[in-house]
């Protein structure tokens, strides 16, 4: 096959993949701008001839903005806790001769293999007995636990790719061990840290099962849980649902656009090498 033909087929395949990926989002945005009586009109309109922001205004009037902020807060706290603990654990496993190190790594991998819903009921009972059920602490704590094994695995693998001589040279220059790690090692591990942070944020932001199990108060709900209430017994409010979908996609898209140049290196180097 000629190079030009092959490149043309690759371009066509990429365009088709982009259409499949972006088509539902474009249609959801179009639906969120249509008045309710025009959502199911025939023939359908991709670009609404009559537009409205009533569906977005309804989300605000129903308090969905509070759920949006809750989701952001839970995800931020979970990622912060998991990155701090995961970085310390990953560095220790990469640099120190810890007895049983391989067993610890196997346990972390095993933890990633266990689906969260498999231990959700006993976790709920535990949180009820501890007084953490239906509080602002419950979801960040659980999300951090979900993210931590991945953070440890990625950071440990990436630390193994950073030569020890860099730390030793920094210490010869007068840095303490902590300063050498902070100023030399961590900047070099930025792709792995951002990859773990992105994975953790998306996991926390998109979660529905854990959030609906551990939180029962309207003021503590996350965005996915809040949006489910627009699916009533007598029909779905498609305009409000699609408006909510568009709002829910903004943070992940922004995060990807900001950190995209680090993500490939973080996932490839940090999760394969070492």
How large is the average pLDDT for residues 249-271?
74
Q: What is the CATH number of the domain that holds 77?
A: 1.10.3720.10
How large is the average pLDDT for residues 5-13?
80
47 and 28 within one domain: yes
pTM score of the predicted model: 0.86
- Kindly state the percentage of the chain with pLDDT values over 90: 34
Report the pLDDT value the prediction gives residue 266, as an integer from 0 to 100. 58
Whether the Cβ atoms of residue 207 and residue 268 lie closer than 8 Å to each other: no
Q: What is the C-alpha to C-alpha distance for residues 270 and 188, in angstroms, rounded to an integer?
A: 11
63 and 43 within one domain: no
Reported as a single tens digit per residue, the pLDDT across 229-243 is 887 655 678 888 999
177 and 73 within one domain: yes
Q: What is the C-alpha to C-alpha distance for residues 72 and 66, in angstroms, rounded to an integer?
A: 10
137 and 32 within one domain: no
Reported as a single tens digit per residue, the pLDDT across 73-130 is 999 999 999 999 999 999 998 888 888 888 888 888 788 777 777 788 888 999 999 9
Report the pLDDT value the prediction gives residue 273, as an integer from 0 to 100. 46
Q: Which of 36, 52, 68 is the last residue of a domain?
A: 52
99 and 44 within one domain: no
Looking up tokens 């849980």 gives 225
The total of structural domains in the chain comes to 2
221 and 133 within one domain: yes
200 and 64 within one domain: yes
- Kindly state the percentage of the chain with pLDDT values over 70: 92
221 and 165 within one domain: yes
Domain of residue 19 covers 1-52
Looking up tokens 């922001």 gives 53
End-to-end, the C-alpha distance of the chain in Å comes to 39
Q: What is the C-alpha to C-alpha distance for residues 198 and 194, in angstroms, rounded to an integer?
A: 6
Residue 268 has pLDDT above 80, yes or no: no
Q: What is the C-alpha to C-alpha distance for residues 148 and 212, in angstroms, rounded to an integer?
A: 21
118 and 80 within one domain: yes
Q: Which of 17, 32, 52 is the last residue of a domain?
A: 52
Write a three-state SS string for the chain.
CCHHHHHHHHHHHHHHHHHHHHHHHHHHHHHHCCCHHHCCCCCCCCCCCCCCCHHHHHHHHCCHHHHHHHHHHHHHHHHHHHHHHHHHHHHHHHHCCCCCHHHHHHHHHHHHHCCHHHHHHHHHHHHHHHCCCCCCCHHHHHHHHHHHHHHHHHHHHHHCCCCHHHHHHHHHCCCCHHHHHHHHHHHHCHHHHHHHHHHHHHHHHHCCHHHHHHCCCHHHCCHHHHHHCCEECCEECHHHHHHHHHHHHHHHHHHHHHHHHHHHHHHHHHHHCC
Residue 137 has pLDDT above 90, yes or no: yes
107 and 41 within one domain: no
252 and 140 within one domain: yes
202 and 168 within one domain: yes
């Amino acid at each position: 096959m000629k190079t030009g033909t092959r490149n043309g087929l690759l371009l066509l395949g990429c365009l088709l993949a982009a259409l499949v990926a972006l088509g539902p989002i474009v249609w959801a945005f179009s639906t969120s701008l249509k008045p309710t009586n025009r959502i199911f009109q025939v023939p359908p309109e991709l670009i609404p001839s009559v537009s409205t922001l009533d569906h977005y205004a309804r989300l605000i009037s129903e308090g969905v903005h509070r759920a949006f902020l809750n989701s952001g807060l839970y995800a931020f706290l979970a990622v912060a806790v998991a990155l701090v603990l995961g970085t310390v654990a990953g560095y220790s496993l990469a640099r120190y001769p810890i007895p049983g190190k391989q067993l610890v790594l196997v346990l972390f991998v095993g933890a990633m293999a266990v689906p969260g819903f498999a231990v959700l009921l006993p976790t709920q009972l535990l949180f009820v007995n501890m007084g953490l059920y239906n509080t602002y602490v419950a979801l960040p704590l659980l999300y951090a636990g979900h993210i931590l094994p991945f953070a440890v695995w990625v950071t440990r693998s990436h630390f193994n790719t950073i030569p020890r001589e860099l730390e030793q040279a920094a210490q010869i220059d007068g840095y303490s061990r902590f300063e050498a790690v902070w100023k030399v090692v961590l900047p070099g591990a930025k792709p792995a840290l951002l990859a773990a942070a992105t994975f953790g944020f998306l996991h926390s932001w998109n979660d529905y099962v854990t959030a609906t199990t551990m939180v029962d108060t309207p003021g503590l709900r996350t965005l996915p849980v809040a949006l489910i209430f627009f699916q009533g017994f007598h029909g779905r409010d498609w305009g409000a649902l699609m408006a909510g979908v568009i709002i829910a996609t903004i943070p992940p898209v922004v995060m990807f656009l900001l950190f995209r140049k680090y993500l490939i290196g973080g996932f490839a180097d940090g999760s394969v090498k070492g």
